[in-house]
Chain A
């Protein structure tokens, strides 16, 4: 059993207790400690800026050309906080409970409570930075509602909340860079994590413009490198999102938790053809005013506006009357795929459902809807050529958020000492399903309000001064050579299939056999297919160009190789967990009504995986204790 090192004491005092007793370092000595931060999304940029403000020496790495581009930028709908500005019964406790329930009782109570507790300060911080959240005419902050809750606790900046929050963090980071306290390396990818004496001691980077491979040592390493939903190829993620940093760390000993828990977002645009490289997300906030339906009759070919009310099935409202169109994401996605699989799908490929605004437009007027969602409607029209004020949107579930990630303890530290994992890259807070608008929150809370305490606590007590410097240097040299050899190997195969081709095939296997719906038979087939694909990769990969200049193909090849190694672990995890919970739906384990059937007795733990040198997976468990909430069947009816 793994120990998450959760502080003793009552739930609401755990974090206070931790802050009051953690070790500190005096301002003059902080400069002597160097921390490497990989990733400049919300979690990475906020962590780096906060550490730098305290006086630590921070070195930051991003593969992007600027720290403003990470995929946090694309989060649309909002960020949750238990401010209770709406006077609608919200509280830290309520937010905590909603999140535990939303995650289908597969996350840590202490972590979630802390996230809810820190949520309010985060809104304060963002406002102070100049984030232009939506306001009422009185000048007060405005809120809206998101899936899986009955209060309005979501703060938003039109449909570009992630962009605005990221700018706040990015600007804070650039301010620190300007005063020389942060060294920022753009267009640098982490090729490996250097572990010495069981501690994370630095990274090997590749300069993506020149190909230069370089060692960087530090007293602690922070990975804030985002999620890996792009492993499904067609996903809502950016093209360059990857699992590489966390997978490379995993291969150096960092445990990987719940790898198969990937959220499928219910309101993405459907796939339209084979050429497609990504699926664009439409914000969940649309479900506040849009009604989801499919034709009652399977195979109904009429245009949506020609289908009369009586021939429409508003299936979410029918099945989940108390949450209706705002049922949580896992449930909404599953309900959609059931309708599509049963032949009720809409659109040219019959792979979508309708999201209809007619009733809201009739009720509130086009202007009001335009004000709320104008940019989303524009975006929809740009992509599809369809005007959603006149006919319903076509939406479909798509791979989106990784609840899984590197295992971390309460202090966000991996089992490898000195390796901290923040934001979507860790597994910690969302259980088996993340609630909307909690992703931005977790990234921000990890980076602004948690990591600097826990990193300082580690640095103050780690005894790094006794390191054998010669041994450490040898480790760096060894890892550098390995990185160079790996890249040469990828270049030397000279087969006939590009990294992109392999990625697409990988995505097809995962979508069909380890996607929204899973079963043992399909998973076993996936295991075999992945084995073959991996073998084929090493025989037939074709990488253009060379290693000493800009080479996007080489970057992609290494990332796809990492994905091909992670995929079998995802399948293994899905196969091992013989229950349904949240986004993990095993068809063998469902209630009579077709809802997820959990097995708390046998699976009330987080699956935490270790990979051996030979590529075998060893399962460790972190038992989940629920001392404050009653574990129950999750109902949104």
Chain B
């Protein structure tokens, strides 16, 4: 299989980047996108060129580390998939692929395809937890949680923190990420007590990080590898206003 790659190259946070073109031949359709980049890097290194810097760890769609924009698709042209779960069989022979990092003011590019997503960690730190210390917990079955509630909480908690929602949003809003955590914890009895304060603190942090406002285009839900629902954004607003 043959592809022409146009990859965003940027030396560091302070420099200006641009696309560079790399024709690649002899590719296997079953290769994943990161494996294709491994292959490219091997060639670049042998030629004495700087390899493409990109992050990718678990390569099974759960760690949230990878994630690029491929021909305008956030993460992947496939539905509910991460970049590492995208295989070359998703493309046609002789296709041209434009590969670039997620773009958002709050996710500065560090090098090539690597971005800084620590803003997400600070949003969690602001209140994305239940304030229980080790040792305080009551017997697990003393907190009954309905089957459907547990399932719904799981759906929200499934977020992998990749940032695709921010990257696809025209406002670079982190509402889906933040809303998912607020909703996950607020719908469980253990998390109710702190729900309002949590929503306030996390939303404030989200704003302080420079993420844009949500105008409910629902684009985030479409690209989310875990299909986290925009209903969580509604729950966030509810907790924030009336929680």
Q: Which residues of A line the B interface, CB within 8 A? A: 46, 49-50, 53, 64-69, 71, 73-74, 83, 85, 121, 123-130, 132-141, 157-158, 160, 163-164, 167, 170-172, 174-175, 177-178, 186, 209, 238-240, 272-273, 275-278, 280-281, 378-379, 382-383, 385, 448-449, 452, 496, 498, 500-501, 542, 544-545, 549-550, 552-553
- In the complex, what's the smallest C-beta–C-beta distance from A473 to chain B, in angstroms? 32
The answer to whether A239 and B59 have CB atoms under 8 Å apart is yes
The answer to whether A174 and B28 have CB atoms under 8 Å apart is no
Which one of A69, A141, A158, A160 has the greatest number of beta carbons of chain B within 10 Å? A69
The answer to whether A174 and B59 have CB atoms under 8 Å apart is no
The answer to whether B45 and A544 have CB atoms under 8 Å apart is yes
Given A167-B157, A209-B110, A383-B85, A85–B141 Cβ distance below 8 Å? yes
* Contact partners of B85 in chain A: CB under 8 A: 379, 382-383
B30, CB-defined interface residue at 8 Å: yes
A50 vs B141: C-alpha distance when bound (angstroms): 23
* Contact partners of B125 in chain A: CB under 8 A: 174-175, 177-178
B55, CB-defined interface residue at 8 Å: yes
Q: How many A-B residue pairs have CB under 8 A?
A: 218
The answer to whether A65 and B117 have CB atoms under 8 Å apart is yes
CB closest chain-B residue, reference A157: B154
* Contact partners of A126 in chain B: CB under 8 A: 140
Please list 15 pairs of residues, one from A and one from B, whose beta carbons are closer than 8 Å in the complex, sorted by A's number.
Answer: A65-B117, A74-B60, A83-B141, A128-B190, A130-B157, A135-B149, A140-B141, A238-B58, A278-B60, A378-B80, A379-B60, A383-B87, A448-B134, A498-B45, A549-B111
Interface window among B62-70, B164-172, B208-216, B235-243: B62-70
A133 vs B144: C-alpha distance when bound (angstroms): 11
- In the complex, what's the smallest C-beta–C-beta distance from B78 to chain A, in angstroms? 7
The answer to whether B190 and A280 have CB atoms under 8 Å apart is no
The answer to whether B145 and A135 have CB atoms under 8 Å apart is yes
4 closest A-B pairs by beta carbon, nearest first, are A139-B144, A171-B129, A128-B137, A178-B125
Q: Mark B43-60, 1 if CB is under 8 A from A, else 0.
A: 011101111010111111
Given A68-B161, A130-B185, A553–B51 Cβ distance below 8 Å? yes
* Contact partners of A379 in chain B: CB under 8 A: 60-61, 85
Given A498-B42, A542-B45, A544-B45, A67–B121 Cβ distance below 8 Å? yes
The answer to whether B65 and A69 have CB atoms under 8 Å apart is yes
* Contact partners of A549 in chain B: CB under 8 A: 12, 111
* Contact partners of A273 in chain B: CB under 8 A: 28, 30-31
* Contact partners of B117 in chain A: CB under 8 A: 65-66
A238 vs B55: C-alpha distance when bound (angstroms): 12
Interface size class of B (residues with CB under 8 A): 35 or more
The answer to whether A174 and B128 have CB atoms under 8 Å apart is yes
The answer to whether B184 and A132 have CB atoms under 8 Å apart is yes
Given A273-B28, A379-B60, A550-B110, A175–B131 Cβ distance below 8 Å? yes
Given A69-B57, A174-B121, A174-B124, A160–B62 Cβ distance below 8 Å? yes
CB closest chain-A residue, reference B136: A128
Which one of A83, A139, A164, A280 has the greatest number of beta carbons of chain B within 10 Å? A139
From 113 to 165 in chain B, residues with beta carbon under 8 angstroms from any chain A beta carbon are: 114, 116-118, 120-121, 124-126, 128-141, 143-147, 149-151, 153-154, 157-158, 160-161
B34, CB-defined interface residue at 8 Å: yes
Select which of B58, B120, B126 is within 8 A of A71 by beta carbon: B58
The answer to whether B55 and A65 have CB atoms under 8 Å apart is yes
CB closest chain-A residue, reference B146: A139
B224, CB-defined interface residue at 8 Å: no
Given A135-B147, A278-B59, A68–B50 Cβ distance below 8 Å? no
The answer to whether B31 and A130 have CB atoms under 8 Å apart is no
The answer to whether A171 and B124 have CB atoms under 8 Å apart is yes
Select which of A132, A170, A500 is within 8 A of B124 by beta carbon: A170
The answer to whether B65 and A135 have CB atoms under 8 Å apart is no
Given A170-B124, A171-B124, A275-B28, A128–B138 Cβ distance below 8 Å? yes
CB closest chain-B residue, reference A85: B141
- In the complex, what's the smallest C-beta–C-beta distance from A255 to chain B, in angstroms? 29
* Contact partners of B105 in chain A: CB under 8 A: none
Q: Which residues of B line the A interface, CB within 8 A? A: 12, 28, 30-32, 34-35, 38-39, 42, 44-46, 48-51, 53, 55-65, 78, 80-81, 85, 87, 89, 110-111, 114, 116-118, 120-121, 124-126, 128-141, 143-147, 149-151, 153-154, 157-158, 160-161, 184-185, 188, 190-191
A308 vs B132: C-alpha distance when bound (angstroms): 56
Given A65-B116, A68-B121, A73-B63, A130–B137 Cβ distance below 8 Å? no
The answer to whether A552 and B132 have CB atoms under 8 Å apart is no
The answer to whether A140 and B144 have CB atoms under 8 Å apart is yes
* Contact partners of B48 in chain A: CB under 8 A: 544
CB closest chain-B residue, reference A46: B134
The answer to whether A164 and B130 have CB atoms under 8 Å apart is no
* Contact partners of B143 in chain A: CB under 8 A: 127-128
The answer to whether B160 and A238 have CB atoms under 8 Å apart is no
Given A139-B144, A277-B35, A158–B59 Cβ distance below 8 Å? no
* Contact partners of B39 in chain A: CB under 8 A: 275
Select which of B158, B161, B188 is within 8 A of A66 by beta carbon: B161
- In the complex, what's the smallest C-beta–C-beta distance from A472 to chain B, in angstroms? 31
A85 vs B59: C-alpha distance when bound (angstroms): 35
* Contact partners of A138 in chain B: CB under 8 A: 144
CB closest chain-B residue, reference A210: B12
Which one of A125, A186, A378, A449 has the greatest number of beta carbons of chain B within 10 Å? A125
* Contact partners of A501 in chain B: CB under 8 A: 42
Given A132-B153, A134-B150, A277–B59 Cβ distance below 8 Å? yes
The answer to whether B145 and A552 have CB atoms under 8 Å apart is no
The answer to whether A277 and B38 have CB atoms under 8 Å apart is yes
A128 vs B131: C-alpha distance when bound (angstroms): 9
The answer to whether A125 and B58 have CB atoms under 8 Å apart is no
CB closest chain-B residue, reference A501: B42
The answer to whether A130 and B110 have CB atoms under 8 Å apart is no
Select which of A65, A141, A163, A500 is within 8 A of B42 by beta carbon: A500
Select which of A141, A163, A174, A550 is within 8 A of B141 by beta carbon: A141
Given A132-B184, A139-B147, A160-B158, A64–B65 Cβ distance below 8 Å? yes
The answer to whether A124 and B137 have CB atoms under 8 Å apart is yes
- In the complex, what's the smallest C-beta–C-beta distance from B163 to chain A, in angstroms? 10
The answer to whether B147 and A136 have CB atoms under 8 Å apart is yes
- In the complex, what's the smallest C-beta–C-beta distance from A122 to chain B, in angstroms? 9
A129 vs B190: C-alpha distance when bound (angstroms): 8
A157 vs B150: C-alpha distance when bound (angstroms): 9
The answer to whether B157 and A74 have CB atoms under 8 Å apart is no
The answer to whether B184 and A130 have CB atoms under 8 Å apart is yes
* Contact partners of A542 in chain B: CB under 8 A: 45-46
CB closest chain-A residue, reference B150: A135
CB closest chain-B residue, reference A494: B48
CB closest chain-B residue, reference A273: B28
A323 vs B124: C-alpha distance when bound (angstroms): 43
The answer to whether B121 and A66 have CB atoms under 8 Å apart is yes
The answer to whether A129 and B130 have CB atoms under 8 Å apart is yes
- In the complex, what's the smallest C-beta–C-beta distance from B129 to chain A, in angstroms? 4
- In the complex, what's the smallest C-beta–C-beta distance from A516 to chain B, in angstroms? 22
Select which of A46, A186, A272, A276 is within 8 A of B118 by beta carbon: A186
A273 vs B53: C-alpha distance when bound (angstroms): 24
The answer to whether B150 and A238 have CB atoms under 8 Å apart is no
* Contact partners of A139 in chain B: CB under 8 A: 144-147
CB closest chain-A residue, reference B123: A174
A543 vs B149: C-alpha distance when bound (angstroms): 51
* Contact partners of A167 in chain B: CB under 8 A: 157
